[in-house]
Amino acid sequence: MKTDHSILDLIGSTPIVRLGNFETDALPPLYAKLESANPGGSSKDRVAKLILQNARESRQLPTGSTIVVAAEGNLGISLAMLAGEFECQCICVTPESVTEEKISLMRALGARVVVTPAQLSTDHPASFVKVARQMSAELDKGYFVEPYENPAFLESHYRSTGAEIWQQMNGKISAYVAPIASAGTLCGVGRYLKEKDPGIKVIGVEPLGSAYAKPEANQQPFHTRLDGVGSTTIRPLFDAAVVDDIRQISDRVAISHARELARSQGILVGGSSGLALAGALEYRKTAAQPGSVPIVILFADSGTRYLSTIFDDRWMHEAQFGGEDSVHETLNDLLGSEIRPALIFAYEDENVDQAVAKLSAAGVSQLPVLTRDEQLVGITTEFRLLEYLLNQKDEGASQTTLTDANVIDEDVPTLDRDMPIDDVLNLFSQHQTAIIMEDDPFTGKKRVSGILTQIDLLDYLAKR
């Protein structure tokens, strides 16, 4: 008979499952590490276990101590769950933005919960971090758990999660994807995997506007309705040397992916996992190498603690994310069945003067640029053409081909008609224009069928 000595023995060894409903020919398959299988329902169980074990071994946590944690939910749940095993009490100080389910779980596990105002900087005296630190200092045997700088966040995932993923996947991993958050899960696992195989890509995912974004992509203030992710500052545990790429995903897209995952595969996870899945799909489409070497995504917690928020249609409407129906909207709904104007385009070997004439005649500001067999090259805009002509002194500059004038932007995103509106919205957070593609019934190839701009999307959303 095999039994476990205590709940501490149940932490870790979580399963990995293949996400079969997100398969795409010629692109790597996706696998998810389900941290919701931990007894406390999240990856924070691993962190809490190591924090308390280290504190007990260093004699900072004698029997009868009170653990005081500044937590946005999951870490508080994990410490509340383990406090009794260490013969301690637990106080969880948490911002009011944390879901009702998380607060109820902490209380059910015996913790005293102190709720502070949300949206305060960690330096504010009323912030959950400052309040927790002050409460711990005032207690006779208080032990404060620091939420952002504790090395156990990195060490726990380096020791256990990273090693488990490597073993479970038999070392066959092309990329590892996780939310950044405190950076412990991403960088701890990432460091372990890169030590095993430096070729593995480590991809961090964050909400729009996060401090981790590249400066040129960070065009809007940070705000998220997702628990436990996003930051206005770079966390101390973040190791840029480990991370190969960072993707930003809108709340709406993250939530729709979490809801779709529950319906299509029966995997109920939180918004941060929807964020990670959306980031993995974007990375796979734009940067992953073709082949069969899997991408592994970390799903940090269970969706049961978000039933009153992201899985509730009323909350979704109040948060202006839409409800059940909006999850299934596609670009085809936006385009509708109305007859759209004939596509105006330029060939790559046409000259600048011809492109300017087409722009002027059509009253548009951009043109798709095609090869003579009508395959997409990129897009040219009135700004690029104007800039070229202003900088050229030769009288014959306007007769230069678009290719030779270097006025074609090849880095233009493309859209399929069945692309979810949420994904279109996420794309337009970083681009102003995209090219609509469709299948040519005669050649079987993709052909350009139109242009979509931010104002087209805005007009559709306003009228919906």
Delineate the domains of the chain, giving CATH numbers in brackets. 7-41+153-325 (3.40.50.1100), 44-145 (3.40.50.1100), 332-463 (3.10.580.10)
**DSSP string for 189-249:** HHHHHHHH-TT-EEEEEEETT-TTS-GGG--S-----STT---SS--TT--TTT--EEEEE
Cα–Cα distance for residue pair 462/222, rounded to 1 Å: 23
pLDDT score for 10:
96
The number of residues in the chain equals: 464
- State the pairing for strand pair 175-179/295-299: parallel
Model confidence at 219, pLDDT cuts 50, 70, 90, reads very low
Taking residues 432-460, what's their average pLDDT? 80
Cα–Cα distance for residue pair 345/254, rounded to 1 Å: 35
pLDDT score for 464:
60
CB 459 within 8 Å of CB 335: no
Whether the pTM exceeds 0.75: the reply is no
- pLDDT tens by residue, 29-59: 999 999 999 999 999 999 999 999 999 999 9
Model confidence at 287, pLDDT cuts 50, 70, 90, reads confident
Cα–Cα distance for residue pair 440/81, rounded to 1 Å: 58
Model confidence at 323, pLDDT cuts 50, 70, 90, reads low
pLDDT score for 205:
95
Model confidence at 119, pLDDT cuts 50, 70, 90, reads confident
First to last CA, the chain: 60
Residue with the bigger pLDDT between 147 and 141: it is 141
Token reading at 377: 């090259």
Model confidence at 172, pLDDT cuts 50, 70, 90, reads very high
Specify the 3-state DSSP secondary structure of 418. Answer: coil
Taking residues 268-278, what's their average pLDDT? 95
Nearest CA to 282 out of 211, 360, 204, 340 is that of: 204
- pLDDT tens by residue, 7-16: 999 999 999 9
Model confidence at 174, pLDDT cuts 50, 70, 90, reads very high
Strand partners, 380: 367
CB 103 within 8 Å of CB 41: no
Taking residues 258-262, what's their average pLDDT? 92
- Evaluate if residue 232 carries a pLDDT over 80: no
Token reading at 421: 């509106």
Taking residues 445-453, what's their average pLDDT? 84
The radius of gyration computed from the CA coordinates of the chain, to the nearest angstrom, equals 26
pLDDT score for 1:
65
pLDDT score for 462:
67
Residue with the bigger pLDDT between 100 and 291: it is 100
Taking residues 178-195, what's their average pLDDT? 95
Model confidence at 199, pLDDT cuts 50, 70, 90, reads very high
- Evaluate if residue 324 carries a pLDDT over 60: no
- Evaluate if residue 389 carries a pLDDT over 80: yes
pLDDT score for 322:
62
Average pLDDT score, the chain: 88
pLDDT score for 212:
83
Cα–Cα distance for residue pair 246/243, rounded to 1 Å: 8
Model confidence at 340, pLDDT cuts 50, 70, 90, reads low
User: Which of 123-127, 198-202, 288-292, 311-315 has the lowest average pLDDT?
Assistant: 288-292
- Evaluate if residue 328 carries a pLDDT over 70: no
Residue with the bigger pLDDT between 270 and 461: it is 270
- Evaluate if residue 370 carries a pLDDT over 70: yes
Amino acid in the structure at residue 404? D
- Evaluate if residue 325 carries a pLDDT over 50: no
- Evaluate if residue 256 carries a pLDDT over 80: yes
Cα–Cα distance for residue pair 82/78, rounded to 1 Å: 6
- Evaluate if residue 272 carries a pLDDT over 60: yes
